[in-house]
Structure 1
């Protein structure tokens, strides 16, 4: 027995003795394993949890966009009309001036202007002088057209514009630029240090080109870091840099519209909890991050082409009083972000989703105690499943499994629609894991019991068949050894021919096992033959010969009666075939039906060789048993007349196996040459 088999048997024994205790122990152990996964958050499970969040977001009915936000696209149409990107900044100036004139409440520009515009005429003049050592004249051109940055700066001073910049984490960038901080008041929970605020703290800033940063009335950072799967779900609204606090671009635009520059940050033991803007409280996650409740895929908000704005084909009513975001959405401009609702959303649309959710007061909140709730639910469902499995029936367990599945689906959806996100992943994983493992253990235990029961049933069946056959044999000169020998001959011959083409479609493991079980019944019909015929030592008369031939029909009749009571059985089918056909001849001269060739069932043809061989080597009232070699010679001589040619050839190949079987189960009725080689008891 292998080590694995010994372990399986030991577990099976423990299971039988202390089943309930083992179930609860396994349930506790698996629940602890899931709890450890919850603590360490392996990448594969955290990825599943993020996908679960995305699914909940898509199922959430977030309402329609407010209508207060318009996106002005630098799209393919704009590039086709006004040339490739980046545009000279005088054209950006023209676009912003148009938006100011059309009555935009505030314009957030999601474009970085970190370096001077190289397309300014004075810069081109300078580069030509440096590169080609020649001068070009700019006389006659008004001075204010020579510097595109100056034109843009002049426009910025006049309007409600908010530019974007980017904070840097890591290597410090030394760059002089003006930023626009907010006045941030703190509301700290008791016990929280005055130095703690739980916000991101960048090392430097890749800011605006200084003349533009000095001219713009407001600015905000555009940092958006995706989760580890590359999808954007959250964004920090406030960062601390060199002791001052700076807003995200969308928040800066909102402050510009509201005319406010003061915010209140609530800080608890776990970090930043919420940001108050007037009477509106915005919930925050770790590091001051804001969960973005995306309204839908790209195109959810009103989009206008920058070309149409510049051409004057858009009426003022499309812009008047609205918040405008200007951004690049053309596919080649690389400002595409993956979000839960769309794998290719422009960055400017992300900003639109942020500000619209704040305007509508529609927030997503992951409670600070969510970890506690999820951990308690994990333990509860894990232990509950173990207790139910230990003490309840399968129907009850299945009912609770379905109820738990429904709870895991509908409760998170309901809470998410209320703006609360609590993950059902780990509680559901604990219940499902316990249910699966304990079901497997119970199934394994049941399978072991069934196998044991089947083994006992087969052993009982085999013993009963042999007993019935022995009862038959007691009326004849044959013995129980004949039964054991013939069934072993049949099995040996069938195993030898299983790989021969002529028999491979029929002969397989199941067929061989059924032959082995059925063989003892091949002479069952002898119980119907009178003793004075069956045991007659002299030659039988013609009438007596015909009477003894009927044992084949009698045996088939008895087996058919049993089969009618027990139902269809391949085992009994083969038993009936062997009982009826084992005296048929290949050339059709046999009895009782005179079938010939392959009309005779294969089981009958196999038994014919086995029965004749054993009859030849055994003593009978009317003859002495032949030696093995003589019996083989007689059977081979019957090839194509009495026996199936293919089976006869197969017998010739393994007749030594027949001899070994005869020696193994030899008794007093076997020829001396075989019996002498059997060890005495």
Structure 2
């Protein structure tokens, strides 16, 4: 048994080594995060204070008024210029302009020349209106505007080499676990080079399609680049234009100004989303038409991006909530200022896995000691403790990754329980098999007691128990007595048939061993063996009340001399009032007596024996059992010959 538990412990260790890290653990941890985040929001609601951001929406209202997106860049320039007049802290566009504006007059002239061979002249415009991209670039150069990049994991020869000095510094010396891009998608150089700075907009949902986390820093080849929202903070002038990343015992430590928080190895932080109506938002068309309060923009971090449904820039942030992509950047900034940015130290997953393994070993020890109530209490206690700790930590903007503790512990608990259940089942099966063999040995010993009193019966008990099983199995295949003829019943019948003459131990030797026919008085005494057998087995039943096998044995011993027409003994039962097992035994007993040598007769031939059985159909024997016997008579002969 000790080897078994050592094997289970080693299997548990292998399970933990194989399970970390896996998508299953990450997904289960995500689901627990969603649950605990909702509980934490109920316990300690997070309120968005005076918003630090303003979202300028390219919404359905703006598209209806100004036309489909993308707008001519002269219109985009007007929008950005209007924002700039209200003195925001920083502006960022969640829009990439990777191609020249085809609505520029100069581009239109080129288009008609290239595709139609037409020389078109557009006159009457000032020179600065002939190229929308140049106009937008001039506008950008006067604004605190950041344009985005999208980092790709492959280099494409068509990638525009437009990366410029970001204007901030990220110290990531010794940190080699950042996401890395080798190519990029960015704005045309005319625009990108005029922007104050840049940041990436890479973000993706977790495997279950829900957006929870966002990286703060990535590498473009070897150069660290900040997320667009982080780049806004670094270049706004309110903080030093420098961010530090360093490995620490708790994970990756990020420092921006006087704020320090911990991330996973890839600088991912968990975002805490606020109710949609608490974000400050302005429609682009309202801003262009002057329907805004300048105070709503002054000093804000202004983010310009698409919120119109048809532009498909949307993320699922909860099972029942979808937000436009621009809200991801706004949330990161708001979380930063409100202290709601949820740190996710990279140390917690491996530490939790180790603690979970120790807890699994403790559970295994309790299993070995059969302390099952203690196991339930222990498992419930650690689950409640970790859940409470996770909720408490989330109220302090820290996530301790409890999924890496609870999920493998629950799985290991199930695996252990199944292994121990299988082991217990195997042991119980072996025990019951040994017990069954012991019962059979005891029954055979009881039958042999009768056999030693009547030596001429020899192999009679072996043959008769095979006869009755053969009959019962054939009747079961026919569908007869379905409520009785189960596999268990047939096995009980087989094992108890040898006890049919157990009552002969009470018959005097001068009658039992008389070398000749019995007198009527002696026969009456001989008939008492059925009653003696019943009484003996009734005594056993009184000691083991739920033993169905003993009841079958009692019915056989007491009723195997009853006859179908009611002329048998000791009760004179008839028809189906005689127990089925007694009716089966009656035919088997008579058949074997006829083919066997006795003190008073020579053995009958098989043919004569079969004729006598048929003659007793409906009088001595159950007609249905006789019919089954006739179909099996060859097998009866083989049993008789095999056990002579």
TM-score normalized by structure 2? 0.82
- Tell me the residue number matched to 2:166: 181
1:72 deviates by 3.5
d(CA) in 2 for partners of 1:466, 1:271: 73
Label 1:662 to 1:440 Cα distance change in 2 as closer, same or farther (>3 A): same
- Tell me the residue number matched to 1:279: 258
Moved more, 440-449 or 511-520: 440-449
SS in 1 for 2:108: helix
- Tell me the residue number matched to 2:198: 219
d(CA) in 1 for partners of 2:96, 2:120: 30
Label 1:520 to 1:378 Cα distance change in 2 as closer, same or farther (>3 A): same
Moved more, 377-386 or 648-657: 377-386
Label 1:560 to 1:103 Cα distance change in 2 as closer, same or farther (>3 A): farther
Would you say the 8 A contact 1:157–1:217 is kept in 2? yes
- Tell me the residue number matched to 2:48: 65
- Tell me the residue number matched to 1:132: 116
d(CA) in 2 for partners of 1:272, 1:594: 90
- Tell me the residue number matched to 1:324: 302
- Tell me the residue number matched to 1:115: 99
Label 1:345 to 1:553 Cα distance change in 2 as closer, same or farther (>3 A): farther
d(CA) in 2 for partners of 1:307, 1:176: 33
d(CA) in 2 for partners of 1:220, 1:264: 13
d(CA) in 1 for partners of 2:222, 2:368: 60
Moved more, 264-273 or 24-33: 264-273
Residues matched between the structures, number: 638
1:655 deviates by 2.5
Equivalences for residues 396-475 of structure 1 within 5 A: 396-424=374-402, 439=417, 442-472=420-450
Would you say the 8 A contact 2:160–2:185 is kept in 1? yes
d(CA) in 1 for partners of 2:518, 2:172: 120
**Out of 314, 319, 328, which is 1:350 matched to?**
328
Label 1:213 to 1:135 Cα distance change in 2 as closer, same or farther (>3 A): same
- Tell me the residue number matched to 1:12: none
- Tell me the residue number matched to 1:33: 14
2:58 is the alignment partner of 1:74: yes
Deviation per CA, 1:607-662, whole angstroms, max 9, x where unpaired? 12111112223345654442333212211232344323332232223333333433
Would you say the 8 A contact 2:249–2:347 is kept in 1? no
Equivalences for residues 182-221 of structure 1 within 5 A: 182-184=167-169, 186=171, 202-203=181-182, 205-221=184-200
Structure 1, unmatched stretches of 5+, are 1-14, 667-681
Aligned CA RMSD, in angstroms, stands at 4.3
SS in 2 for 1:37: helix
d(CA) in 2 for partners of 1:300, 1:549: 99
Would you say the 8 A contact 2:272–2:341 is kept in 1? no
1:30 deviates by 3.0
- Tell me the residue number matched to 2:486: 508
d(CA) in 2 for partners of 1:368, 1:236: 13
- Tell me the residue number matched to 2:617: 639
d(CA) in 2 for partners of 1:26, 1:429: 22
1:274 deviates by 3.9
- Tell me the residue number matched to 1:148: 132
Would you say the 8 A contact 1:103–1:320 is kept in 2? yes
d(CA) in 1 for partners of 2:258, 2:554: 93
Label 1:240 to 1:461 Cα distance change in 2 as closer, same or farther (>3 A): closer
d(CA) in 2 for partners of 1:582, 1:314: 106
2:636 is the alignment partner of 1:651: no
d(CA) in 2 for partners of 1:615, 1:443: 49
1:351 deviates by 1.0
Label 1:503 to 1:379 Cα distance change in 2 as closer, same or farther (>3 A): closer
1:221 deviates by 2.5
1:183 deviates by 3.6
- Tell me the residue number matched to 2:496: 518
d(CA) in 1 for partners of 2:200, 2:466: 88
d(CA) in 2 for partners of 1:27, 1:506: 43
Would you say the 8 A contact 1:102–1:319 is kept in 2? yes
d(CA) in 2 for partners of 1:532, 1:468: 21
d(CA) in 2 for partners of 1:300, 1:569: 74
Label 1:226 to 1:180 Cα distance change in 2 as closer, same or farther (>3 A): farther
d(CA) in 2 for partners of 1:276, 1:448: 59
d(CA) in 2 for partners of 1:208, 1:244: 18
d(CA) in 2 for partners of 1:156, 1:497: 96
d(CA) in 2 for partners of 1:272, 1:561: 76
1:169 deviates by 4.6
**Out of 273, 282, 290, which is 1:295 matched to?**
273
**Out of 43, 58, 75, which is 1:91 matched to?**
75
d(CA) in 2 for partners of 1:169, 1:471: 88
- Tell me the residue number matched to 1:672: none
**Out of 365, 382, 388, which is 2:343 matched to?**
365
Deviation per CA, 1:337-358, whole angstroms, max 9, x where unpaired? 4556678543212112211111
Label 1:570 to 1:424 Cα distance change in 2 as closer, same or farther (>3 A): same
- Tell me the residue number matched to 2:227: 248
1:514 deviates by 0.9
1:397 deviates by 4.6
SS in 2 for 1:488: helix
- Tell me the residue number matched to 1:601: 579
Label 1:251 to 1:216 Cα distance change in 2 as closer, same or farther (>3 A): same
Label 1:255 to 1:427 Cα distance change in 2 as closer, same or farther (>3 A): closer
- Tell me the residue number matched to 2:241: 262
TM-score normalized by structure 1? 0.78
Label 1:499 to 1:368 Cα distance change in 2 as closer, same or farther (>3 A): closer
